[in-house]
Structure 1
Amino acid sequence: MNFLEIIEKGGISMYPLLLLSILSISTILERLLFWSRVVFKEKKIFNRIMEAAERNWDLVGKIAQEHINHPLGNFVYSPFRLSNPDPDMFHLALESAAEEQLARMRKGDKLLEAIIALSPLLGLFGTVWGLIQALSSIKISDLGTADSSGVTLGIGESLISTAVGLLVAIISLSFYRLFQAFWSNQIRILRRMGSRLEVMYRDRWMRSGSEESEGIIPGDDEYSFINIKPPMTNDQ
């Protein structure tokens, strides 16, 4: 059977199943394109940002801004949008950006979940409807005769919708689990990067404050960084 014959013989539930399959394929392709951009670049961006944080903090914001369209770059650049953030504000900015990026990564998940749940049910409905139509025309006197062969054929055709529904659900579920694995991995990466950056930022903030309290004005040495002012001491 070709595609049109499958649609015709599958019954009335084949049309909503066809719509769900189109939605599933379009969502999967869009997510594959999104995750390919995220996964293939994340290691390079991660290494560049962490190397800059260890050697020259001033470059962290610039590197993150260069990759503002990538979740990692957008995540790291969020606190650099603030003016003179203290460590607590730095943490809140990273936390807010992480929630935003993780929500963006889950785009399309609800649609795939609905397709996974509805496809088998629609397939089963098509099969039950086909059985009703096939068995409604059978007579007791026709059993075992040539007249009952059409009923047998009708029952076989009614199972097409169940097979199609299961196929759509299986494909959608496979990619849904794949995207969930990518999402879980991004949580670990954002948590790891955010924790390390917070520790470095807090350390530099405290060192800058102690140097100014001793009358030393930080310059361009390894402890200075952009747009950060130490907290005022009691003597000031």
Structure 2
Amino acid sequence: MLPLLGLSVLAVAGIGERVCFWLAIYAQESQVVGRILLSAREDLWGALQAAQLGRNLPAVRVLTAPLLLETPTPELFHLALKHGAERELIGMQRGDRLLEWVMVMAPLLGMIGSVLGLMAAAQETTSLEAKGLMTALTSTIFGLGIATVTVAFYKIFQALQTDQWRLIHLSSNELELIYRQYWQRIHP
């Protein structure tokens, strides 16, 4: 039971960190990205001003990366957007390995506990059989419970990453189009 308790603590810590991360992003990101794109249509470099409120948000960091360059070519602008998006995707996946590890290990440790409990029950012929069986079942339920909760949150975080990636991709493409129009105006 102690290894399962340790895994549950790791799972709760990992889930808690990811919940805080996603809540902070979704609380304000859509509004800030909308303001950046609206500002970029009027004044491309003025979009940096609109981005100041959300500089801790992944999509905002992606959109501001090319705006920090000094008159980039459209290709360099595109490359800066692409690089920023890839960097942010890596950051969004932080903690996934821990959750995957817990999802795999918890049921296995639960099954090990079950086997040990059944072995203890088989060695005893008195009422300790019931105690060993109870230990086995408790261990199995605990391990499967940890895995189930962790899988649920893992899938939620995967869905949030997909939504975030979609937002970054769409807003990056829109900003790139705005920049290409700007570039064509100043370089006919």
Q: TM-score scaled to structure 2, two decimals? A: 0.95
- Equivalent-residue separation in structure 2 for 1:158 and 1:188 (angstroms): 45
Q: Is 1:109 aligned to residue 96 of structure 2? A: yes
Q: CA deviation at 1:157?
A: 2.5
**Number of equivalenced pairs:** 188
- Equivalent-residue separation in structure 2 for 1:135 and 1:34 (angstroms): 48
Which residues in structure 2 correspond to 1:49-88 (within 5 Å)?
49-88=36-75
Q: Is 1:194 aligned to residue 181 of structure 2? A: no
The structure having more radius of gyration, on CA atoms, is 1
Deviates more, 1:47-56 or 1:159-168: 47-56
Q: Is 1:159 aligned to residue 146 of structure 2? A: no
**Match for residue 48 of structure 1?**
35
Q: CA deviation at 1:56?
A: 2.3
- Equivalent-residue separation in structure 1 for 2:41 and 2:183 (angstroms): 14
- Equivalent-residue separation in structure 2 for 1:47 and 1:16 (angstroms): 47
In the alignment, residue 60 of structure 2 is paired with which amino acid?
Answer: G
Q: What is the aligned counterpart of 1:173 among 151, 157, 175?
A: 151
**Match for residue 226 of structure 1?**
none
- Equivalent-residue separation in structure 1 for 2:69 and 2:30 (angstroms): 26
Q: What is the aligned counterpart of 2:17 among 30, 41, 45?
A: 30
8 A Cα contact 2:58 2:88, kept in partner: yes
What is the DSSP-based 3-state SS (H/G/I as helix, E as strand, rest coil) of the residue aligned with 1:82? coil
What is the DSSP-based 3-state SS (H/G/I as helix, E as strand, rest coil) of the residue aligned with 2:72? coil
In the alignment, residue 39 of structure 2 is paired with which amino acid?
Answer: A
8 A Cα contact 1:79 1:90, kept in partner: yes
**Match for residue 4 of structure 1?**
none
Q: What is the aligned counterpart of 2:3 among 7, 16, 20?
A: 16
8 A Cα contact 2:29 2:54, kept in partner: no
In the alignment, residue 144 of structure 2 is paired with which amino acid?
Answer: L
The alignment yields a C-alpha RMSD, in angstroms, of: 1.2
Q: What is the aligned counterpart of 1:183 among 147, 161, 176?
A: 161
**Match for residue 228 of structure 1?**
none
8 A Cα contact 1:109 1:176, kept in partner: yes
8 A Cα contact 1:45 1:72, kept in partner: no
8 A Cα contact 2:120 2:129, kept in partner: no
Q: CA deviation at 1:134?
A: 1.4
8 A Cα contact 2:113 2:135, kept in partner: no
**Match for residue 5 of structure 1?**
none
8 A Cα contact 1:65 1:74, kept in partner: no
- Equivalent-residue separation in structure 2 for 1:168 and 1:37 (angstroms): 25
Q: CA deviation at 1:61?
A: 1.9
- Equivalent-residue separation in structure 1 for 2:52 and 2:88 (angstroms): 15
